Every structure is written in C-alpha cells, then in structure tokens.
C-alpha cells in the first residue's frame, strides 16, 4: 500500500508597509512590511527606485497564530474540578495567553498555567485551567484570550465556552426520558 502526503501550499496575503510618511534626507527610518501567512513562508524584499536594497536591513519574521481552540467540560457539578485546555498554534514569536471568567470579569491566575513550545519555525502555546466552580458560577462563560502584538496589534484572539450545572442537565434528561403508561 502506498501512502501519499500532500502538503498544502497557499499564497501569502498582500504585503502591508507601515512607517513614517515623511522621510528626511540622510536620516534613518524604520519601515515595517507584513504579509499574513503563506506556505511556504513568504520572503520579503525591499526596493527603492526599482533596485533591491540589500544592506542596512534587519529582518524579523512574525507569523500570526491560528485561532485558539478551547476544550474542556461544559457541564460540571458545583465543587467538582474541571480542566480546560486552550491551544494557540503556529505563531511566531509566541503569543501571550490568559484565561478569564467573562461574566464575573475576573482573570484566572493561580488556577491557570501556560507554556510555549517551538515547533519547527513557530510556537504552539498551551494553557491549562484547573478550576472548581461553585454554584454562583453556573451559567458563566470561560474565555481564553491570546495576544500576539507583533502580528495582531492589541486585538486578542478569543474563544469561549459556556459552563452549566450538570445536575440541571441530568434532571432535564431524566424528564425527557420518563414516560407513563
């Protein structure tokens, strides 16, 4: 049996140049050129008057991460520990991940940990939340926010999950399953 693996190739987004609009003769300037994604990774070149600029440049490669994913229980009995995992893949440099209770407007601190692992030329950031919700948390929404200022500015990528009480879920299920003769 032969197995073929196809690597997906796709073009990068259009380049975007940011920097000063006014340039003073003989002064040093900083211009930033970004191009989203692309496989293989795009190479960027600078030109002035149709001639490639090859000296005096410093380049940094940044890659926007994929939208984060959040897994974990959506129903728990209050007091029961739940573990939620958030993953943000393929960003460079590594993004900053946090988790919060959207409804209580609180950040998880001691219950949350995250690590970044470099995989070839990009980072996968994984965050884990170990939390014991109480009755007042029923109906709350847990969110994972990933900030990647290099490519996304101050806009976070966010994914959320609604938390509900398992006791209500089982009561509703038993009502739906019961019948009388």
Domains of the chain: which residue ranges?
14-53, 66-163
How far is residue 148's CA from residue 122's CA, in Å, rounded to a whole number? 13
- Average pLDDT estimate for 96-105: 94
Predicted pLDDT of residue 8: 64
Is residue 90 very low, low, confident or very high in pLDDT (cuts 50, 70, 90)? confident
Residue 143 to residues 18, 23, 86, 99, 163: CA-CA distances in angstroms?
32, 44, 9, 6, 11
Q: Which fold has domain 66-163?
A: Immunoglobulin-like (2.60.40)
Which residues touch 50 (CB under 8 Å, ≥6 apart)? none
Strand partners, 85: 71, 128
Strand partners, 92: 63
> Does this model's pTM top 0.75?
no
Most confident of 29-38, 81-90, 111-120, 168-177: 81-90
Q: CB count, 10 Å around CB of 78? A: 14
The dihedral formed by the CA atoms of 175, 176, 178 and 180, expressed in degrees to the nearest 10? 110
Closest CA to 170 of 38, 87, 80: 80
How far is residue 155's CA from residue 150's CA, in Å, rounded to a whole number? 11
Tell me the H-state helices in 60-159.
149-152
Place of tokens 């019961």: 178
| Token pair in block for residue 53 | 């600029």
Cβ atoms 9, 39 nearer than 8 A: yes
- Average pLDDT estimate for 28-39: 74
Strand bridging mode 164-165 / 75-76: parallel
170 vs 102, residue with greater confidence: 102
The dihedral formed by the CA atoms of 43, 54, 152 and 12, expressed in degrees to the nearest 10? -20
pLDDT value at 120 more than 90:
no
């Amino acid at each position: 049996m032969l197995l073929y693996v196809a690597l997906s190739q796709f073009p990068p987004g259009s380049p975007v140049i940011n920097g000063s609009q006014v340039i003073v003769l003989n002064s040093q300037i900083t211009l930033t050129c970004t191009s989203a994604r692309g496989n293989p990774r795009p190479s960027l070149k600078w030109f002035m008057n149709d001639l490639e600029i090859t000296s005096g440049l410093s380049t940094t490669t940044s890659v926007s991460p994929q939208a984060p994913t959040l897994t974990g229980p959506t129903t728990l009995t209050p007091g029961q520990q739940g573990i939620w995992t958030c993953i943000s893949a393929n960003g460079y440099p590594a993004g900053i991940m946090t988790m919060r209770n959207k409804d209580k407007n609180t950040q998880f601190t001691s219950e949350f940990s995250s690590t970044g692992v470099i995989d070839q030329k990009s980072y996968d950031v994984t965050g884990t939340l170990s939390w014991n919700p109480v009755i007042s948390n029923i109906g709350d929404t847990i969110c994972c926010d990933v900030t990647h200022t290099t490519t996304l500015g101050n806009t976070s990528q966010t994914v959320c999950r609604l938390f509900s009480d398992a006791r209500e879920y089982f009561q509703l299920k038993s009502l739906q399953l019961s019948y009388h003769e």
